[in-house]
Structure 1
């Protein structure tokens, strides 16, 4: 028992397809996205898991697909980036969704808005754009009102975070990515097992339940659709390392 929620038994790996978040699950969260440390141990664990579950291991992350591919050798793994908007199978099949038509002009408008607002950071993404105001807390109200005005004028989803607001393409999430992978061989007919740490992983946890599988929350206890929990990234790596040795 881990703080009221069970730790997952390692034999859950049998007949499972494994879906792994990246930041906060496989690597410690860093101050900057490019500052994460991918260890040789993590690379070895992913290799062992792929050998144990050939074609049934996926990285499902909010990072852009190309960014994760640069950090990891994903040639033998399935991969979903940008919260389900990008999909890549180990055999090279992929789903490439064109950027929404509103993205370029919206980025331009936000750049104009942020000009002269010290501390407001604009982060461009493949399918959205984020406005960070962590270093300009007095600009919070202005940032939120401006983002809301843009979201109401187009087919844009508005996501609120800690000192950030993001405008993104609606319809894609990590749950949809899990569902899409599970409809394809060799994952079809197995049970999804999802590891994640953030609220953005909740859609994947819920989809795992719908498909007869389970979610594993990494980190502190909180309300979640995950059935199981492990306290930290180090515990997740220990579990994955042990699970890779479980006989099929």
Structure 2
């Protein structure tokens, strides 16, 4: 159930760890790093990968990144050999900390989707097209007045190709039907390393609500980063900097 009241900060992370095994599922943009005008304009600390691996070891491997970015794109910023479980394209792509694929390999979306979306982005100044192996996105942070037009265009395009739409902060995406951050949490929680632990999902956007709900199914909870009016998260942190402080990254 979505709530609108001001949320409190979560209990100290050390206190939660001491109470029993904890699993962390963490979004990337807006949660671990600050959002930038375009996906490739982000600033990532060179220490982030090592700090995340250290945290994962402390949790006996029960840490997974769950991002809207593709796994290939995450590798550009975190390194291709990072020893961390992770899910990309809103949970559609999944690998364990050993880098081995979890579940079936998804099918790529049709080239026609990419072509139409790229052409639409090129027709309006300020729009940014992001191609993913298993999805395609329009970012309109540079043209906020065109948000409704982007939503309508991608919605119609997705309907024609049997895809579903994911919306977020100044972004709208066409992705396969199985792309769902909650599904990624459920899949990871079936793995021996995560099984039986308390799941905590940290995210900042609408797509992270699926992750919060999945965490709740296993007795855990969500933490929303930033101020969102409607959320089923139990707690909140204001900024990625607060996330780092809470996790002692």
In the superposition, the TM-score normalised over structure 2's length comes to 0.83
Could you say which residue in structure 2 is the equivalent of 1:192?
199
Could you say which residue in structure 1 is the equivalent of 2:24?
18
Matched position secondary structure for 2:248: helix
- Checking the alignment, whether the CA contact within 8 Å between 2:169 and 2:205 is kept in structure 1 is no
Deviates more, 1:162-171 or 1:61-70: 162-171
1:77 to 58, 63, 84: 84
Match status 1:62 vs 2:87: no
**Rg larger in 1 or in 2?**
1
**Whole-angstrom CA distance in 1 between matches of 2:234 and 2:61:** 24
- Checking the alignment, whether the CA contact within 8 Å between 2:48 and 2:78 is kept in structure 1 is no
1:48 to 47, 50, 54: 54
**Whole-angstrom CA distance in 1 between matches of 2:10 and 2:221:** 12
Q: Any gaps of 5 or more consecutive residues in structure 1?
A: 243-248
Q: CA deviation at 1:41?
A: 4.7
Matched position secondary structure for 1:223: coil
Judged with a 3 Å threshold, the aligned counterparts in structure 2 of structure 1 residues 168 and 234 are, in CA distance, closer, same or farther, namely same
Match status 1:147 vs 2:154: yes
Matched position secondary structure for 1:94: coil
Could you say which residue in structure 1 is the equivalent of 2:33?
27
Deviations 1:107-163 (A, max 9, x none): 223345556554444332222222345555676665454434323323111234455
Deviations 1:43-84 (A, max 9, x none): 443233122112211111111111112211453210101100
In the superposition, the TM-score normalised over structure 1's length comes to 0.83
Match status 1:130 vs 2:133: no
- Checking the alignment, whether the CA contact within 8 Å between 1:28 and 1:36 is kept in structure 2 is yes
Deviates more, 1:180-189 or 1:90-99: 90-99
Q: Any gaps of 5 or more consecutive residues in structure 2?
A: none
Could you say which residue in structure 2 is the equivalent of 1:171?
178
**Whole-angstrom CA distance in 2 between matches of 1:52 and 1:138:** 45
